[in-house]
Amino acid sequence: MTNPILSDWTTPFEIAPFARISDDDFAPALEQAMAAHNAQIDEIANNPEPASFANTIEALEAAGEQMDKVLSDFFTVAGADSNPAREELQRAFSPKLSAHFSGISSNKALFQRVADLWARKDQLTLTDEQARVLMLTHRGFVRAGAALDGDDDTRMQEIKSRLASLGTSFTQNLLADEREWSMDLPEDDLEGLPDFVVDTARAAGDEKGADGPVVTLSRSLIVPFLQFSPRRDLRAKAYRAWTARGANGGDTDNREIAAEILSLREERAKLLGYSSFADYKLETEMARTPDRVRDLLMQVWEPAKKRADADAEILTTMMQEDGVNGPLEAWDWRYYAEKRRKAEHDLDEAALKPYLRLDRMIEAAFACANRLFGLEFTPLDVPLYHPDCRAWDVTRDGQHIAVFIGDYFARGSKRSGAWCSAMRGQAKFPKEQAPIVINVCNFAKGDPALLSYDDARTLFHEFGHALHQMLSNVTYESISGTSVARDFVELPSQLFEHWLEVPEVLAEFATHAETGEPMPQDMLDKVLKAANFDQGFQTVEYVASALVDLAFHDGAAPSDPMAKQAEVLAGIGMPKAIGMRHATPHFAHVFAGDGYSSGYYSYMWSEVMDADAFAAFEEAGGAFDAERAKALEDNILSTGGSREAEDLYLAFRGRLPGVEALLKGRGLIAA
């Protein structure tokens, strides 16, 4: 009987037949897919014909179709709907996959063919896109260690295998800590909490089989609890648990794992001839060097810290007026910031949330995509991996463009955070294929589901990533969609956030969940006026995390990452009442894999561009200017990684921006 993962999928749009796939299917499917992929690689490497772009580079692009099916299916459910069986499979798969892909990158015969093509690149008749794919393929082999020999080659394979296992352990430890902790909330402890927080806590209690409402470590619950609970003792308990994830001792402690990861990364970089992992990692990014990253972060740090210090004095005074003596603590900031926001902007999140219904915010994102790019979204009735998921057929001018899947609600089986992934990327070779794109979020479930303003911003952010995938229009999947420099990939997502704040968008879609009435004009005005509220806090917690990440990788790996973290924070004068957005033991961006390692700064690097890019719309015909929208699609959203990121931005804007646009956008300097 054919494994359902590897069978021909006759489902609509060839979506994975999740209803037919069991956890028992993944391991045998992976073994079969790896064997098939290895056979394809051997055929390419041992081809007696001289190397050509078609028989080597395009052959590599076409290979591994079964691997793509297995890995896209498995990692979709492993991240968004995990269970003990899938966690065990992840632990087993990590070293196997590392060995498999390391075997390809260290295949000397294969690398020789790629290197031969690279040496003859000027004599080959290649399109610009083909030349780009050749360069990236050659560079990828070299950076993976293909040019290493003997003991160095062997050690590189060992390092990559160990790093893969450590990243999986880090992620699973974090998920375990998030899943296991909860705090009961007896009826007396619900006092002062808005109804939406109480409802979320009751739903969390139901999921955990508790006797009543609970606080969990899901961001969609713990952040509003810290904002609204008048019980300082409970806020302190919840905050300490939240920030202790991955640092609770025992089997789920991530501190030693982080130290080993940093040591292995440094060794890997030095095997390849780099002085540090940061030098290795940043070579392919827009920033290029650690010094340029540090310069950007410090340009932002100084005004952000100044604003945060001034805000801390105000919040401390408010706390003292409540009869609380002593310094402002990290579990106090959100509570008093929320009170201050209500006082200064007369904006109450409890009153605001009914106007930010999830379904209406999805409609708003779709409507913006329609006005900007002509996309239409039609609901699909197809089997998906979880009942919470929903899907849409994305078309333009009657032509199928993509399938978009939304998985919006928090649950114990889903890792924290929000992300966008493609179960299938766009490509024209070896065959035409439209992308299947997933947005995963962790919003509180309700009837109806109501969002905070930050939640709504997250929805728009992830949908910006989805547009980058859906509007991709290149030949080769390896450079399609979000296959771009890490410090460029956040540009489309952060840029799309701006459309949430377009007054006409909120006026149309921010309608009350019960009455259907549009958001009152005075509330709309307050929302937009308060958009930069507490930016000192938000910028400080982010930049501190980015500076710690950079310090971990720029130079010798610290034997004690926690001590290094403390040293960096002391050196920059980290305000006592603000914690890092992601402290080391739960810094999944950096330690769950190499994606954002030495690269957490990327959000801010992209924000420098997104502030400037939206200004281009405002300087033209407004947020929905058709000419600017076409330029954005033609030069950024459709082009994937077919050109250098800097060239793509220059083609769109005509120049590169300075940091001033970001500082003005965050309200940290006068506009």
Closest CA to 57 of 122, 116, 143: 116
Residue 407, SS3? strand
Alpha carbons 582 and 541: distance in angstroms, whole number = 8
| Count of other CB atoms within 10 angstroms of residue 559 | 10
CA distances from 660 to 239, 306, 501 (A): 34, 16, 20
CA distances from 513 to 396, 410, 448, 454, 483 (A): 30, 20, 7, 18, 38
The C-alpha R_g of the chain, in whole angstroms, comes to 25
Closest CA to 641 of 196, 131, 187: 131
Alpha carbons 406 and 439: distance in angstroms, whole number = 5
Alpha carbons 588 and 595: distance in angstroms, whole number = 10
Q: Which of 349, 462, 477, 497 is catalytic?
A: 462
In what helix (H) or strand (E) does residue 519 lie, and over which residues does it extend?
none
Cα-Cα end-to-end distance for the chain: 66
Give the chain's largest Cα–Cα span: 83
CA distances from 296 to 5, 290, 601, 606 (A): 46, 10, 9, 11
Residue pair 5/18 in contact (Cβ under 8 Å)? The answer is: no
Alpha carbons 249 and 256: distance in angstroms, whole number = 10
Residue pair 280/143 in contact (Cβ under 8 Å)? The answer is: yes
* Phi/psi of residue 597, nearest 5 degrees: -65, 130
Q: Which tokens in the block code for residue 6?
A: 């590897």
Length of the chain: 671
Closest CA to 18 of 282, 384, 451: 384
In what helix (H) or strand (E) does residue 420 lie, and over which residues does it extend?
strand 419-424
Residue pair 601/293 in contact (Cβ under 8 Å)? The answer is: yes
Residue 462 annotated as catalytic: yes
- Bridge partners (DSSP) of residue 443 are 409
Q: Which tokens in the block code for residue 120?
A: 């003859």
Closest CA to 579 of 248, 234, 332: 332
| Count of other CB atoms within 10 angstroms of residue 321 | 9
Give the residue numbers marked as catalytic.
462
